[in-house]
Amino acid sequence: MQLLKFIPIKLTLFLVLGILLGHYFSIDIHLTLTIIILFILVLGILLYKQQRTDAISFGTITMLATICMGILSITLWQPKNRSDHYSRQDFKETHTWHIKIQEVLKPTTFSERYIGIIKNRNHKKISGRVILNLSIDSTGQQHIVDDELIIYAKLDDIKHPLNPYQFNYKDYLSDLGIYHQIRLKPSNHFALKNTASTVYGVAASIRNKISSKLKQAKFGTDELGIIQALLLGQRNDISETTYNNYKNAGAVHILAVSGLHIGVLLLLLQFLLQPLERLPRGKTLKLIIIVILLWGFALIAGLSASVIRAVTMFSFIAYALYLNRPSNTFNILALSMFAILLLFNPMLIFHVGFQMSYAAVFAIVWIYPLLQRFWFPKNILVRKIWQLFSVSIAAQVGVLPISLFYFHQFPGLFFVSNLLIVPFLGLILGMGILVILSALLNILPDFLVNIYDTLIRLMNQTIAWVAQQEAFLFQNISFNNIQLFAAYGVLISLILVFTKSTYKRAMVFLCCVIGFQIWTFYSAYESRKKEQLFVAHQTKNSILLQQKGNLLYTFSINKNTPKRLITNYSIAERIDSVAHLTLQSSYTFEDKNLIIIDSLGVYTSAIAQPDYLLLTQSPKINLERLIDSLRPKYIIADGSNYKTYIKRWKETCHKRKLPFHYTGEKGAYYLASTETTKK
């Protein structure tokens, strides 16, 4: 494979391998550092003796050293490994915390949310990051980036998923180095005055000023939300309908300031600054100006992780364009990835945005030239359309397995939305920057507002029309991690066949296709023979889910089973049909008996010594007397009960040495399963 001949690509792959090893295995940091130093000394000796740099020994030692660097980088990045991290001290009690707000998150219905950096606890300097949840009340209290708060509270754990296949917010925050949260109330904290500014605070201040100026102009509500997303990276004001239209049309990437926007901006700057090349050292001056402007746009967009990643990547690409050597593009991309992982954050490799950005760019660089060689129209208009179509196809092919794995859907008309929008994205971004500059200088004319507002409205209407073609939207596609890697095996081997057809490459491609099919059939077979019954968690409702192969039965009191719970479970378990039934008073499953007692407190005594007793809807019962009467082996309480009742039942079961499971704390409870029984 020609790509693996590039040294930066090899080093990046070894670095990624080291990061994965360091993430999934606990490896001593001192041992890793010692090994790296030894490898560097050996490499130095080999170079001093002027040995061939492509010798097997030199290559092997470099490979091992790079893997160790990956292990070391992720180990050093983990906040918990720092000696001054709050988790290394007593933090579970109520303390006085001095916390600086680093980022304002999207609010929920009930609270404003922030990421805060801990400066000290009880006047002792420590480190760490936490989530701050400020309850929304009549005072309308809010905070901004760089506010410093004095908080008297205790750290709370972040809840793990309570239902199967639910998004794991706890793990997501853990990958960001955040392990706890603090609940803010007006009575337990106050803000300090005259606090020091940071670059994030300056970026937030600029963004807020721009946002307020734009709100003063006469933009439509939906149009303003899209403008703020495109130019400022703020998606809070986009309506749910508009966002879903972009998602279903395969154009949601347009709403996130990331690789697409920075790439289009780079091409726009390349075109506008072309005259500078006529000056002495004009190409160098052009490169410097482009990089400065890209990072200036990153500052306006808030310096989020995705923006910094994209600007770093395209700064390297700008350098590749400056060298004007197409063969170096893969090297530059690999070097940018190496630098981002090693210098910024090795955990980015687990982020969806990072994976999709590099997959799309690598695919465009690799597949686009092949498509152009496949067909190069003579008509200039047809050629331009084919080029745009080729870029869209290449990018979608690159990210298709990732999209199926994370989002389980494929918008069949993605190429239509991209063909209709992407060609004008440069104009949209260029006009947007002009609007921002005019607004900041208080010289924004009404005609420019009307033109830009109309342009954004037309884009929204186009996206809405594409999204309405539901026959081309393929949703709820089951796709697991093995299929992800197998799919990339199929795609890469297919591209190699098109690059140069040989018998060996054709056989590799066929083996990958067969392997992908075998695993898909095996997964479907395993799902068909699976049977299980479990109590799910939902506030103010009682839900039992029973899987019988590809069929799913839901038993609930009000039949208001959350759609997301059913959808997530159906996708993961390859469910074909779902039936909603009313919850009964008792069930038998695989010789296991379950009795359910609801708010009426009525139960049947026909079943002696039931295996499980499920308490729902806060029944007013004497639990001790009930235990003596039924003698259950296990007691379960779901999310429909009052927490005061839960606390009392928990104490009773502890006193009687009887197992007790509350779904609001421990999550869903599996009563029985053909494969596993989880208790």
* pLDDT 10s digits, 509-521: 999 999 999 999 9
Give the pLDDT score at 566. 92
Give domain status of residue 663, yes or no: yes
Poorest-pLDDT segment among 222-226, 283-287, 460-464, 602-606: 602-606
How many other C-beta atoms can be found within 10 angstroms of the C-beta atom of residue 575? 20
Q: What is the total count of domains within the chain?
A: 6
Poorest-pLDDT segment among 179-188, 329-338, 427-436, 460-469: 329-338
Q: What is the pLDDT of residues 223-239, one digit of tens each?
A: 998 998 888 888 878 88
Q: Are 96 and 142 part of one and the same domain?
A: yes
Q: What is the pLDDT of residues 114-123, one digit of tens each?
A: 999 999 998 8
* Residue that is last in its domain, among 30, 51, 77: 77
The two structure tokens encoding residue 111: 């609270």
The two structure tokens encoding residue 141: 């209290």
Give domain status of residue 225, yes or no: yes
Q: Are 119 and 191 part of one and the same domain?
A: yes
Q: Are 470 and 495 part of one and the same domain?
A: no
Q: Are 218 and 314 part of one and the same domain?
A: yes
Give domain status of residue 420, yes or no: no
The two structure tokens encoding residue 639: 């999310």
Give the pLDDT score at 677. 39
More confident residue, 284 or 136: 284
Q: Please determine, for residue 449, whether its predicted confidence score (pLDDT) is greater than 80.
A: yes
Q: What is the mean pLDDT of the chain?
A: 86
Q: What is the pLDDT of residues 549-572, one digit of tens each?
A: 999 999 988 766 778 899 999 999
CA torsion, points 599, 600, 603, 609, in degrees to nearest 10?
30
CA torsion, points 303, 307, 311, 314, in degrees to nearest 10?
180
Q: Are 467 and 492 part of one and the same domain?
A: no
Mean pLDDT (whole number) for 387-415 = 85
Q: Are 140 and 167 part of one and the same domain?
A: yes
- Which residues constitute the domain of residue 49? 2-77
Q: Are 556 and 654 part of one and the same domain?
A: yes
Q: Are 237 and 280 part of one and the same domain?
A: yes
Give domain status of residue 678, yes or no: no
* Residue that is last in its domain, among 77, 98, 123: 77
Q: Are 361 and 329 part of one and the same domain?
A: no
Confidence of residue 58 (pLDDT cuts 50, 70, 90): confident
Q: Are 94 and 169 part of one and the same domain?
A: yes
* Residue that is last in its domain, among 36, 56, 77: 77
Q: Are 331 and 283 part of one and the same domain?
A: yes
The two structure tokens encoding residue 375: 């067909």
In 3D space, the residue among 93, 78, 173 whose CA is nearest the CA of residue 133 turns out to be 173
Q: Please determine, for residue 328, whether its predicted confidence score (pLDDT) is greater than 70.
A: no
Nearest-angstrom CA–CA distance, 497 and 162: 46
Q: Are 238 and 332 part of one and the same domain?
A: yes
Give domain status of residue 419, yes or no: no
Domain at 133, CATH number:
2.40.50
Give domain status of residue 149, yes or no: yes
Q: Please determine, for residue 315, whether its predicted confidence score (pLDDT) is greater than 60.
A: yes
Helix axes 305-323, 329-339, angle to 10 degrees: 150
The two structure tokens encoding residue 360: 């799309």
Give domain status of residue 60, yes or no: yes
Mean pLDDT (whole number) for 321-347 = 77
Mean pLDDT (whole number) for 526-539 = 90
Give the pLDDT score at 678. 39
Helix axes 425-440, 221-232, angle to 10 degrees: 100
Mean pLDDT (whole number) for 132-141 = 78
Give domain status of residue 417, yes or no: no
142-151, 407-416, 510-519, 576-585: range with highest mean pLDDT = 510-519
Asked whether the CA dihedral 315, 211, 144, 247 is positive or negative, the reply is negative
